[in-house]
Structures are given as C-alpha cells and as structure tokens.
Structure 1
C-alpha cells in the first residue's frame, strides 16, 4: 500500500490524475444512465443500447488509463506502442459491453456479481494490455501480489456498483453506481501502477512520439468526452421522448371515462384519475398497493384473464360499499423492453349506473310503469308461485278480478291525466287492502287483480276482502281540486274449486266480474259454472260487433216523423241495425248494451252519425234527420268538433240535423254536457230531449237548456185511454210544451185513436208504426221524392189540358 501511495504522490501529475478521474466518473455515470435503458430493452433496441453502453464505458475506462499513464512520470523517456494501445481500447469496450449485458439479462445477485466480474476483469485486462504497450528506457518488473490485489479491487467495486445501482432507474442510483465503479477503475489502475518497478537500461530505444503528452491527453479527453456526451444525449433524448409520450398517454388516460390501472407483480404501478376517483385515494397512495383480492375481487379465484371481460367488486381504500365493476385486461408487452414484462393494463368500468339501469329495466319489465304494481307478466310468475305455496302448505287462495266502474268517464271527460290519477289512487287503495304474501297486480287499462292467501275458510275471507275493497273504492278521488267518482265491480274465483291453474282462475274470475257488471256494477260475484256459457256468448258477440263496425255490416234504418196536423212526413229518425252474416238481423236491444259494456258505443255512434248525415244529404226534399247520442258521446270534449266536421264532409245543412239525448245522459257530467249542447246549438244543430218523463229531473233540465223539441216516451203514449194516469201525463206534457213554446213529439203511436187524441191536444209531431215502420234508405223514396213526383204529375196534366 505504501508503494502505491508513493507511486501516486511521487510519480504522477495530480492535474492529469484529476482529469482522468473526472473522465472516468463521467463515463461511468453515463454508462449507468445507458444501463437503465438497457435493462428495459429487447431485440435490436437492446443491441443498440448495449453497443452504446459498452462504447461509452470502455472508452471512458481506456481514456482514464491513458490519461493516468500520461500523468505518470518515472523519470525516464516513455512512449506507447499503437497496436497495444488500440488493443486495450477494444478489450475495454468488449468486456464492458459483456459485463453490462450479463447484469441486464435478469435482475439477480448472481447476474450482478457475474457482470461485476466481467467488468473488473475487463478493466484489468485493458490496464495490463495497455501497460504492455508502455515503452520506457528500461525493463518493467511486476509485483504479482499487487497485480492480483488490483484485479480483486476492480472486480469487487464493479460488482458492488451493479448491486447497489440495481435497475438504475433513478438519478441517485446512477450517481452511486457511477461513483463506485469510478473508484473501482481508479483503484485498479493506481494499485496496478504501484506493482510496477522500472529497471533503467539506456540500450532500450523509445520511439519518438508524434504528439506530446499534453496534446495526447487533450485529444483523448476530447474524443472520450464526445463519446460520453453522445451517450448522455441519447439518454436525454430518449428520456424526453419517453416523458413526452408518457405525458400524452397520461392525459389521454385521464380523459378516459373508464378507470385505467397498470399492474405489475400484482401491485399497482400506475393509474389514471378515473381509477383514483373510484378507489377513493390519490395516485401517490395507490402506487405499490396490492390490487387483487385486497382491492379487486372476482367471482372466481383467479385474477383478470387476458382479453376476457369479467365482473367483480372494487373496494375503495377509505372503505365503504364495494363498487361493482367490469374489468378488461391486456398485457402491456411491446417486445422491446423487459421492464414491460409482466405489466398488465386493466380497464375498469363502473357498473353502478348500468346496474341501476338494469334494475330499473327489470323493475319495469315486472311492474306497471304507472301504478308500480306487478304487471301481467309478473302476475303469471307470482300467481304460479302462490299456487305452489298453497299446494304445499295447505293454505287457501282466492283471486279477485277488479274493474273500475267510472274510469272511462273520468278519462273521456277530464282527460288522460285524470284517468291516470284515478288508476294510481285505485292501485294505492288496493295495495293497502292486502298484506304479504297476498298481493295486488294490474292487468292493464282499468283492470286489477288481488290474490289473497289465507289460512282459514277462503270463501268467507274472499267475501270479506271483496266487501272491504268495494268500500275503499267507493270513495271519490280528488284530482285538481275536484272529486272523481270511483267505484268497482269484482269477480271472485277460488282455488281449487274454480281452477287449479293460473289461467283457469283468471278466466273464471273474469267471468264472475262480467256477471257483477250485469248486476248493476258496484258489487262482487263469485264464479258459477252455469254462467260460463252465457258470458262467453256475450263476449263473442262483443268481438263480432267490433269486427262488424270495421267491416260495415251495420245498416241504418229510418223511421218517419209526421206533422200531427196533416200527417205529412217532416223527417226521419236514424236507427242502427246489425245484419250478421250468420245470426241474421240482430236486434238493437241485444247489441247496444254489449257496445256500451265494451266501450264500442262511441265508435258505433260516430259511424251512425256519418252514415245518417250522408244519406240525408242525398234526399231531394230537405227533411230533418234525427240521430241519438249516447251518454258517453254527449260528454266527450270533442263532440262539437266531430259534428262540425261531419256536417262539412257530408254537406248537410246544420238546421236539418237533430240530435236526441236522454235526460240521464246529462247527469254523467252535467256541466260538460250543457257546454257541449250550447256549442252544438251554436252550430245551428237542433237538440231534442228523448224519452221525456223517465229521467231524473225533467223540469230543471228544461229550465237549464232551451231544447228545440221534447219527445214523450212511448211507454206513456201506448197507454193513452188505457190508463187514466198515462192520459193525464201525456196531456200535461203537451200543455207544458205549449207553455214553453217547445214542440212535442209523441213516440210509439200505433193506432188512429192515439193519433186523434194527440192531434186534438195540439201535439206537433208523431212517430210510430201508425206513421211508418223503420226501413232502409232505398225504401224512403215515397217520402223523399213525393213532392217532385206530384209536381211532375201536375205539369203533365196541365200540358194535356192545353
């Protein structure tokens, strides 16, 4: 050691030694900078980085040796053999490249030590090869122990540098690795120089050097510096490019809606802002945390699989409810960098909104959107489950079919929003009437179902529930400050007496409901076998009537009205008939009630109105046509608009159209009915009160609206001179008409005695079989063309007389 120090202090130029040390550190530091890129590269890229690393490190170590040799002054003339000098440079570059290649192959202590061994051996081989090119006036003698110590120093420091630097990803690691390797290079060189003893010999010829030592030092330093700067520049450019690319990727990743997380060895390596927000922690806290099982769990035991979408749960760092997520993974392996090996990129999508939407869709698929009750599809499944339950438990079950009595009126008179409010209120009351496992459901429209499961006597329990429901639904509902009438009819079927399947129970409860409607509504009825055929027949009739309206199987018959004074026909009343292709002519008393029950009366009434107006417009004589309005038609908001449109379409004068209404029709919605009548009156249409004397309050009705005509119901007319009270009533109505100056029409006139009586009491018009029976339009020519025929006959007679 003393000899080494003596050699260093006594035989070296400290200025050049310092230059050699700086060059060595710059080269070693740059080599570790390059080594950090080399460890993460593959293929051609790895080869390029390896070549640059070996060149920078080898040239730097060689330059250190050369400059230090220039700094060495043994007191004798010295020189250098070119071949040996260049050979030492090649050895340095090759061994440095080999050492770094081995260390970068895989990060293990073994590889680091093996790489350090090659680096140390390369430094020693370069040094002693370079010393073999050293020429001086004498003989160079070596101390073998010191030579071995120098090689051990070089190998040891090289291995330590590689172990400490590790991946050399940080600047600190690179500085430490470069410093330790510099110490190893310098330690080997100066220890090796301490092993040298020169025995002078004036006979040894030293070749003349082309350049001085100072010039050689400057040249070697400059060239080596350029190589080192080239390496640093490559690293800087690559780092800047990588950072720029990384910044762009991070900006894109942070702009993504999905969470993106990079995982390596099961731990979080990087993530975007969306994932940090999902995880409930900043990125700094997430990096390094284990992802699988600790934060992200799947249904199966294995983690996310390449290219497979899987669903799992993400547990936020701060705790709380786990978030359902969908995970899609990709291996991030570009084939050029070993550091990407094992890196997996996970795209994590928050499924809370989708799950919420799915739940909503599932709810809507199973529940009515308006009332929230189970819908028809859900009813089938729940009823089937209820039947299985009662089969197994021995409980009893009843099914109640409910139809709201006043829904169509509320819907037509007050609008759809009022109808919806009525349905919602009905659903609420039905839900309140049962407790689980019993339940309520909505079939559609204004039809509801109650399924009751009880432990006791089901007929009694069903009757009690039905009575309670009728009471609850009888109270009016309030909508926008006004009361909407409510009511219901109920049909009840029992399990297993009335059916053992859901379909049978529903069908039979519907049959019982039909019978409840026939009974006057507002009641409940149990299913009875004997009513099955009758109800089926009426339903068949309703279905055929709907088709008949579409196919125009209906015809309009016309019954004449005549002036009582002279018997001349002054108009007709339109009466609908159904010419069934199989049943023949179906009487109105059979199909009109069916039309009212099934909501077909409005469609039927509109068809009759259009047909009658069109036929009347084709008559030669301007006779009036009377058309009956159903209560539902009268209360429709668009009735005046419809009548106006029909008059324009057919070309019929409004004064020729006479609309007949019954007193009972007014009291469905009194104010709306009067408003419609006034609007019709403003069109010029005549309004007649039909079946006078059979309504609720005839006199108040006459006071409220100026009718153009009063029609005495035929039940009074046909009893003239048969019952004194009927005769008195007819006489009183005729007197009332004269007092109010309202013409009175007598319906049901069938005898000459009735004609004489009515004529004597100044009745305005007569209608009945005594005047004429109803007939199709082609049988009316005797009345509609009578005046034209008479005029033609008079003209013919006048010509004959001339």
Structure 2
C-alpha cells in the first residue's frame, strides 16, 4: 500500500487542514477590517453632520439678517416717499401730525419694532426724535455716534426711494441703521423743495429679545451677541461693517447619530462574529465529509458513475431546485434547495403526484406530459402555492429518463412575470390617476368601432378639459395639482357605468367613452352630472379649491366612424364650449369645423398683416380731472382686414397669443406708438398694453429700449400697462424685468386693478407709477354705494403709495363728477372721446391746446 502520511484528528487530510486555517485567518481579518472601516466611517459622518448643521445655521442667520435689512429698507422707502411726511417733517415739523396722530409715532416702535427714529434737516440738526416709541429731546449724533454724518451724506447722494443702511454698535449692542431722504414721491399735490433734503433714519437694535426670537424662528438655540474678548468654542458670525459678532449654541446631530448607531454596530459585530464561528465549524465538517466522500468514491466506482450522470444532467439546465418523478409521475427526489425556495416540507412532498404540487394553464401536468407530440426535452411555465399559501410562478425544465420517469429543474420567475405584467399595465394606464391613458383609450375605442358596427351599436365620446386648473399649480404647487387631478378622476368614474371608459389623455384633459344607445336627454344629464361633480369644492393642503369643466361631445356614427376623427371632432366641440364661457358642453356641429378653418385662415392672414401694412393705431385720449386737460393717450391696435374690414384687438390678439405672433405684433405696436407720439405738438405720454404672454419670454426690456432708440421718443413719455396674469409666473423674475424697464425711464401702470391676482403685498414691492381702476367698478359707481366705497378705497390706497390713479370706461357726466370728488387723478372713456388716429389727435392738440372736448 502507498503511504499517504499520518492521519490527522477528525479525519482531516493535511490539505483540508491548511485550507481551514487559511479560511479562519482570512475571515477574522476581513471582519476586523470591516468593523474598523465602519466605525471610522461613522465617526466621519457624525463630524460632517455637525459641520453641515453649523454651516446651515450660518446661512440661516445671514439670510435672516438680509431679510431684516430688506424689510427695514422697504418700510423706510414707504415712509420716505410719503407726500404727507414730506410736508409735515421736512417743509415744517408738525409734532401733532407726526406723534399725536401716530402717523410717525409710537406704532413704529410698537408694531414695526424700530427702537429709534430720527429726522435730520438740511443743517444737520435733529428736528424729530423718537426713542422706544416716545418723543425724545436727543441729538442723533450723540445717540448713534459720529459715523452718522457719512450715512446722512450717502443718503443725500442716493436717489429717493433707495435707502442706504449699515450696522453700528450702540453701547455694545449691534444695530441696523437705515437712512433715506424725504421726498414727495409721485404726489402731484406736493411741490418739491429745491433745497437740501431732510433725511429720515430708522434704527433696529439686535437686542437679546430680538435675537432670541430670530433664533427660535430658525430653530437655533441661544442666538446672542458674542462677548468681547478671546473667541470661545461656540460658532461665531461676523456682522457687517465691523459691528460685532453673533454666537449660538451649535446643534450636534452627529453626536446623536453616534449614540444611536454605535451600540447597534457593536451588536451587529458580535452577531457577525458568532455567525463566522458557526460558518468555520461548518467548513471543518464539510472538509470531513469531503474526505469521507473521497474514500467512498475510491471504494465504489459504480456509485461514482451514477453520481456523474446525475450531475451531467443537472448541468444541462439552469435550476433553483431539482426534482425527479417515476413513471407514474410521483415525486421521488427533491433537492435541499426545494425547501428554501418554496417554503414547503421536502419530506412531506416526496411521494405525492406532480399534479398535486404544480399546475399549468394547459391543464394538468399529467395530461400535458401524456401528449404524443410533447418533445423529449421541454420547458413549461407552472404555478404553485408556497408555504405561506401565496401563489408563485416557476419555469419547469425536464427530460425523460431511460428507465422511465422524468428529471428536471424548477426556476422561480414570479418577480420576472410580475414585473412584465406591471410594465404592460403602465403602458396602458396613467401613473397618477390609474385611469386608462391615450394608448389604452385608442385601443378601446378602435375595438368598439370594429367589433360592434356603429350603426348597430352607437358610441358617445366626451372630451373634457378642466377650467381654472392652472392657478392651482401656480399658486399651490404641482403636488396640490396632482391631488386635484386624482380626485377629478375618481369623480368622473362615479359618473359612469362599469362598461364605460375614463381616460386621461393630457395634463388636465380627460376623455369619456360611452358605448351603447344613449338618448339626448341622457347625454345632457351625464354632462350636467360631470360638471356638478367637478364644480364641488376640492380641499387640498388646507385650501378650498374651485375648478370647473368644459365638455365637447362627438357621436359615432352620426359624426364619424374612425377613432382619430372622432377624437378630433370632440376636441373641436370642446373648443366651442370653452369659447362659450366654460363650465358647459357643446355637441359637435358641421359649422364648428368651418369656424376652426376660419380661425386658422385668420392666423395665416395675421402673419402677413404686419409686412403688408394692414395694421393701424388709434389713440384713446386720457384727461386730468382737476383741470380737464388732455394729459395722454392709450394706443389701440386695429387690423384693416382685406375681407372682413376693420377688426378690433379682441378678435386677433388671442390668435396672436396662441400662435406665437404676439411678439412681432407687439414690436409693431411699440414702434408705431412711439413714432406717432413723437409727431404730436405737445409732449404727452402714450400708453401701450403689454401682454402677459410676452412679458418674460420675449426680452421685453431690450425690445422697449430698441423701440425708444429707433423712434427717438423720450423714455418718460412711454407708459406700459401691465396685466395681472404676469404674477402667475416667477415673481422674482417679474420684479427684475420691471426694474429693468424702470431703469430705462419708462412708466409702469397696473391695469384692471381689483379684478385679478394683484394684492397689497405686490403694490409694496413692485416699482409702479400708477394704477388703473377697472371699468367694471366705474360702471356701478353712481347707483351702488358699495361700488363707490371700493373705488374710494382704491384711490386712497394709490395716493398713500404715491401712485397716479386712472379710471377707465367712464360713460356719463355723473361718473366724471363723482370720480373728481373722490380725488381720482385721470379718466378716459368713449363718451368723453372716441379713439382717434395719430394725425387727428395731433391736429386736435394744436387746435384745442389740450382742452377737454364737449361730451356727445
């Protein structure tokens, strides 16, 4: 016999023992390295979280200081441009008006939080001082320090309405000091003094209560002024202008992470160590079994041959678990993997018929296997129930055995099949609402039209578009809009039968397909029911939201028998419903298609109208109520169409906005209006409306500047009337564009004030020169007390903000007199003067010298 060396304990050969030792050392080293890496990474993450929290606090405090400076500047601007303040604190000092009547008194301290207010006259003397809400005989220099002179001089060198500010230290307490010159603003009733201007100063100290309140709002602990001396471990933020430092108690989210995670990490390390010991033991046992198998293989070549045949068969198919059945299809072998994958008992399953475990869509497995045309090697998809009684899907691969019976593998493909079904579902349905999408709707519609001939089985299609839905997204966000769309889909489903189809085919567009005989009364009842359901309020994010719906109706076979054509006709009817005032429905009619064709023809004609000189301007005069003199005119564009005659802007401007022609149309109006005004004998301003569709996307500032440069018109003679719809866009960008227009020198008027999205917060922040009262308010002036009160409030509000107030649409002498008595500045109306061409307006200016024409 050959000498195989000494026999080691537990039956291990030298090679297996060495393998076990290497495995032990490798596993221990790997676990130790992994634990140290994880602990180091955790400490690094904790430090990064602490640094990130401190940086976040710095940014929050800096932003809060900027907000304080911005709000202080805005408030100071409002008071500095107040015509009454100019009269009572610059031209003269009226303590009764300023303090007793609280126009410039305690409310600045009590409500707005300004610790001190000073007015410095032209000689540098403090003419008015308010400290802690009380009158004080104190000199501003003694209270604020000698740096006041530089601040006052800087304020006088800066245009009115542009406050300057800086931080100073008052008795060790930092304070924000803002200054601006007193100015009459745009108040036409106040005559400006030509001498040096008085300066008003607002002081807001960063005292402990204010800093604590600021810190609470930012969720920052113990925000306070840093004491003088060496820096501590607390984070610090330097104030501008060397006014000192702020410090706060830093948050330590990283420490909390360590406290929470480190014990868990230690526990996981312990468990992994125990598991590693268990695996090492199993490795030793496996080595022992391997030695025993080797001995068994050497002594039994017949058993080795059978094992090799079995493993060759297994290698031919990919498997999760292996099975064998005898000639009667009873399970005779199941691999150990069977119990892990299926959760079923291996011992309890052996001996059972294959049909008791697996089933197929083709019938029982025994019937399928007995089929004469079944291939020797086959793959079949089957289903079974796992140990939790949940359905599972597997792919069965098999081959016949020479001695009878079958051998094969079973691969679990449940997740693969579910994913494929999910993809098929998503390709047919809208992910937000769960409704059918356009593809599914098209297939459903085509199937109904092909399977059931329309003459025998009519079909109804409703195209639905939501009205007033865009403001929901713009004002409340797309999340709120998604909630509304989901609720709309549920309401639509409640309006229909089970055999009907609801589909979402666009952002806020839905289609209802109703097969079967439906009478006219039933159709109108369905439309009424849909509109009533959608008109009901939606409650989203604490807001009550109201929208409505417009419906277009097309029928097969009455209108069309092709799916695409039916959709097109329903959309045409929907367009008519929206044009009819929305929240209604319209049936498709042949003349609707003619109107669509005419609209497209007008769009094509409008593209050539500018180049062919078909556009013309008329001017609606505007008069000042105080002396009845002509003070300006509004440009109105008309289209001299070759076939339809003279068309007003209400006909073609909406077409221009929808088709993208609004930009060349607006450029023509701007250039023509500026050129016409340049030829007038008097230097009166000309007003031009600006569409919200062109406000942001059309480089408005550059276009206005180009029109002024080409015409040579003085910028202050051009007034741009802005609509409220532009506020639905990015308001920061809107404000930047308005400031750019103001930098050119043009004037900005708010059109149709009170009827849309304009609000008081916008008036305070937007650089406007005036506002126009909508004609709907003026129409109810003489017969409605409430209407008169609204107009009076708008006039008072405009004057308080130093804005010029213009009333449009005045129609009678009583309205003119009432507007004049209420203090309205200017008025325009068709009864006062019809729109005139530029030449006619110029001749009347020369003949009448600006006087008011007599009413017709």
| TM-score under structure 1 length normalisation | 0.50
Point out the structure with the larger helix share: 1
| TM-score under structure 2 length normalisation | 0.47
